[in-house]
Amino acid sequence: MSTIVRWDPFKEVSTLQDRVNRVFGELWGRTHRPDEDYISGSWMPAVDVRETKDALEISAELPGIEPKEVEVSVENGVLTLKGSRQFEKATETETYHRVERAYGSFERSFSLPTNVDPEKVQAVYRHGVLQLTLPKREEAKPKSISIKVEDK
pTM: 0.62
133: domain range? 9-140
Domain containing 60 — which CATH number? 2.60.40.790
Per-residue pLDDT tens for 34-49? Answer: 334 334 456 889 999 9
Per-residue pLDDT tens for 102-124? Answer: 888 899 999 998 889 989 999 99
Looking at the domain assignment, is residue 31 inside a domain? yes
Looking at the domain assignment, is residue 148 inside a domain? no
Q: How many domains does the chain have?
A: 1
Looking at the domain assignment, is residue 146 inside a domain? no
Amino acid 16 reads L
